[in-house]
């Protein structure tokens, strides 16, 4: 039988506010345990939550960016459950009336465009952390994270493969970083994903029973966990079994999903409107002002790069994958006018390669956009060849100054003096009579050998186009 997969994702995006959703505690990551957990966060009696306006603004930003409806009035509800990292006994979340509803995100998979619906995005507070390892028979609780603002973004069950799910997740990741509402750090848990996965016979309209996958906090794990889960469900059904609705944890070491716990009673969250909080009402002016503050979004930027810089769709996609990279590129092109394609090659190639090698963010690159532009100007005006440029880039990366300084210091100026190149060629011809003879007898592939010899003799500084031209004349015996 042919099966169809149905996937919906729930993504928890930690908002980049300085303070918590309902208290004035810091949200900074990595502090000593419980030093950023105030009376509100640890739920001492008598405290009251007061909403952080910036969190509302960030939620609205997201909603506007995915073309969603922004609810002028939304309501916070209590989601009740007992767990020690949730000291109030309930999580403040939004249930019936979320702040953002009905948006969409367009993904590209194998050149095909597809629109993925976003059901809703709601504001809620994060829980603390439980540490089960260090204390015999006890669990340690760190409430620094408790109360940190989250935007939970729920998609429609519109994805039909693990690859589509990853494409959607990546798109969302780029978007929240562009908007400046999340740092996107998956290791630190700032961007977390759960996947609802089910299968159904192809052509069937009704959904199959779904399993919820947790602990899939890298793009690779999302893909692998979903692939595994699809195979598990199909095997199960084809073997006469039934999929049960449950939460399953992904184990990346064994590459499998495991049933987490049966939730017979745990699932009754008894939501009700939080009497401590009045409805979240947003003025039209607040929404308009937020709309004006939106940056250029990834899709628009990508299209503009193709249009304005004449880049291929692929180059534009790579360059706009993170707004910092796109900004770097634009700064470099601005300082090396007319060299948009060459600049794109350098940013995508050498710059990205060095950044990866040294595990650096683009903002921390030792070669700034201005320095790269300086290098590109010297390639463009024939002062150096592309090959020498790589050497200069490495030197700039190592802190040896800008391109002009390195060129002077190392004497890397390209030889464009035709007579100097001719002398080198004549010398090489004299020292390699056998190869010259063979070449003249029709072994044209020896041309490469001569090019190599000339470049070697000039320490790579000869202008390659000139070398080719002069060499061709000299070797064929035509008088120059």
Q: Which residues of this protein are in contact with another protein, per CB under 8 A?
A: 17-19, 23-26, 32-39, 42, 44, 50-56, 73, 75, 80, 82-84, 97, 130-132, 134-135, 137-143, 261, 265, 268, 270, 273, 275, 277-281
Rounded to a whole number of angstroms, the minimum distance from the CB of residue 160 to another protein is 34
Q: Which of 390, 395, 374 is nearest to 460 (CA)?
A: 390
For residues 378 and 149, give the distance between their C-alpha atoms in angstroms, rounded to a whole number.
Answer: 49
- CB of residue 137 vs another protein: minimum separation in angstroms? 5
Long-range contacts of 449-457 (CB under 8 A, 24+ apart): 450/425, 450/475, 453/428, 454/421, 454/424, 454/425, 454/428, 457/424, 457/427, 457/428
266: which residues sit within 8 A by CB, 6+ positions away? 81
Q: Least separation, in Å, of the C-beta of 26 and another protein?
A: 5
Nearest to another protein of 42, 151 (CB atom): 42
Minimum Å gap between C-beta 108 and another protein is 35
Task: Answer for the pair 424, 457: CB distance below 8 angstroms, yes or no.
Answer: yes
**Residue 270: left if φ>0, alpha if ψ -120 to 50, beta else—which one?**
left
Cβ closest to another protein, residue 127 vs residue 367: 127
CB of 125 to another protein, least distance (A): 14
Indicate the residue among 273 and 321 with the shorter CB distance to another protein.
273
Our CA angle for 144, 122, 118, nearest 5°, is 130
Identify which of residues 17 and 414 has a Cβ nearer to another protein in the complex.
17
Largest CA distance in the chain: 99
Which of residues 149 and 298 has its CB atom nearest to another protein in the complex? Answer: 149
Tokens of 46: 């008598």
In three-state secondary structure terms, 311 is coil
To another protein, the closest distance from the beta carbon of 277 in angstroms equals 6
25 vs 414, beta carbon nearer another protein: 25
CB of 329 to another protein, least distance (A): 31
Of residues 132 and 292, the one with the C-beta less far from another protein:
132
**Residues 473, 474, 476, 480, CA torsion sign:** positive
How is residue 86 written in tokens? Answer: 């949730």
């Amino acid at each position: 039988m042919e099966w169809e997969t149905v996937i919906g994702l729930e993504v928890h995006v930690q908002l980049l506010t300085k303070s918590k959703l309902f208290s004035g505690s810091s949200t900074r990551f990595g502090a000593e345990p419980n030093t950023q957990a105030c009376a509100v966060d640890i739920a001492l009696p008598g405290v009251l939550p007061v909403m952080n306006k910036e969190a509302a603004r960030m939620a609205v930003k997201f909603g506007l960016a995915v073309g969603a409806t922004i609810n002028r009035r939304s309501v916070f509800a209590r989601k009740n459950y007992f767990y020690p990292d949730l000291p109030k006994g309930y999580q403040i979340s939004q249930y019936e009336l979320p702040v953002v509803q009905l948006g969409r995100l367009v993904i590209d998979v194998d050149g095909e465009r597809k629109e993925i619906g976003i059901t809703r995005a709601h504001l809620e507070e994060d829980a603390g952390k439980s540490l089960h390892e260090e204390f015999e028979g006890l669990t340690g609780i760190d409430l620094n994270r408790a109360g940190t603002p989250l935007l939970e973004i729920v998609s429609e069950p519109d994805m039909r493969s693990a690859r589509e799910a990853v494409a959607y997740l990546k798109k969302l990741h780029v978007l929240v970083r562009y908007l400046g509402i999340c740092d996107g750090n998956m290791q630190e848990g700032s961007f977390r994903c759960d996947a609802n996965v089910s299968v159904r016979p192809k052509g069937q309209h009704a959904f199959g029973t779904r399993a919820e996958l947790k602990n899939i906090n890298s793009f690779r794990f999302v893909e692998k966990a979903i692939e595994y889960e699809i195979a598990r469900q199909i095997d199960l059904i084809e073997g006469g079994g039934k999929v049960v609705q449950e939460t399953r944890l992904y184990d990346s070491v064994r590459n499998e999903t495991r049933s987490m716990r049966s939730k017979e009673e745990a699932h009754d969250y008894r939501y009700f409107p939080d009497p401590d909080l009045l409805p979240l009402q947003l003025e039209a002016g607040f929404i308009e002002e937020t709309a004006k503050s939106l940056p250029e979004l990834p899709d628009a930027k990508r299209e503009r790069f193709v249009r304005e810089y004449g880049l291929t769709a692929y180059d534009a996609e790579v360059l706009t994958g993170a707004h910092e990279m796109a900004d770097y590129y634009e700064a470099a092109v601005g300082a090396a006018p007319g060299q948009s394609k060459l600049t794109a090659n350098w940013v995508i190639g050498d710059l990205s390669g060095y950044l990866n090698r040294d595990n650096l963010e683009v903002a921390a690159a030792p070669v700034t956009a201005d320095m790269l532009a300086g290098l590109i100007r010297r390639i463009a005006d024939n002062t150096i060849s592309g090959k020498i440029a790589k050497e200069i880039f490495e030197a700039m990366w190592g802190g040896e100054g800008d391109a002009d300084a390195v060129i002077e210091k190392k004497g890397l100026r390209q030889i464009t003096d035709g007579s100097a190149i001719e002398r080198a060629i004549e010398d090489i011809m004299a020292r390699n009579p056998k190869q010259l003879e063979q070449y003249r007898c029709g072994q044209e592939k020896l041309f490469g050998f001569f090019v190599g010899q000339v470049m070697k003799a000039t320490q790579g500084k000869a202008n390659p186009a000139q070398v080719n031209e002069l060499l061709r004349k000299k070797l064929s015996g035509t008088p120059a």
